[in-house]
A and B are shown apart, each in its own frame.
Chain A
Amino acid sequence: DAGITQSPRHKVTETGTPVTLRCHQTENHRYMYWYRQDPGHGLRLIHYSYGVKDTDKGEVSDGYSVSRSKTEDFLLTLESATSSQTSVYFCAINSPGTPSTDTQYFGPGTRLTVL
């Protein structure tokens, strides 16, 4: 187990409500990522972080914001959830134990349903 957890694992919410998903790592890795997984689209990058307070947008960032105040925590916020944000969300870090960021190591995912 590479030491990456996500919370909550499941969440059902209503349209228009704010939602925050948490990713926690114990590997002290600099790079962290948020992806969403949808049928027919594979994994798409939402936002990523390359250090504390250093974040940038991915290919599907609209409607999402992130924050990283500590190395170990990367938060994904949906300011006002919409039904199109119903998805499975994965956090990832670069592979533990290697200096390379080539390979992603994924958390167990959060299944979010927006009604």
Chain B
Amino acid sequence: QQQVKQSPQSLIVQKGGISIINCAYENTAFDYFPWYQQFPGKGPALLIAIRPDVSEKKEGRFTISFNKSAKQFSLHIMDSQPGDSATYFCAASWESGGYQKVTFGIGTKLQVIP
């Protein structure tokens, strides 16, 4: 059972458009919400992350929007480029037994077409 529900599983966006990936959770113990980007044949790599005390974080064309009351967060990719084509995972982490545990969404395969 996924502790973080991610949608959609696949997404096709025109170059220059906005890509939006959504995640939802129930566990209020989660205290850190990272997004990972994975290119084919590579391991996931941290893209951007947010803590629940802020509602938005922006890094270049990538923005996380966080709604604590709704237990939802989303990744927005502005001016999407073909080079953004990858699989994106949302995740949530919490402290348990003295270290941070992490749970991942199922991933969204993004394709940006020229």
Contact = CB atoms under 8 A, between A and B. Distances in A.
A107 B43 contact: yes
A107 B89 CA distance: 16
B44 A102 contact: no
B25 interface: no
Contacts, number: 53
A31 B99 CA distance: 9
A105 interface: yes
Question: Which interface class (under 10, 10 to 19, 20 to 34, 35 or more) fits A?
Answer: 20 to 34
A43 B107 CA distance: 9
A109 B44 CA distance: 9
Given A40-B106, A41-B106, A103-B49, A90 B43 contact: yes
Contacts of A67: none
B44 A43 contact: yes
B65 interface: no
Main SS at interface, chain B: strand
Sorted nearest first, the 3 A-B pairs with minimum C-beta distance are A106-B43, A42-B106, A43-B104
B43 A108 contact: yes
A23 B47 CA distance: 23
Given A31-B99, A50-B99, A103-B49, A43 B89 contact: yes
A109 B42 contact: yes
Interface string A88-106: 0010101100001111111
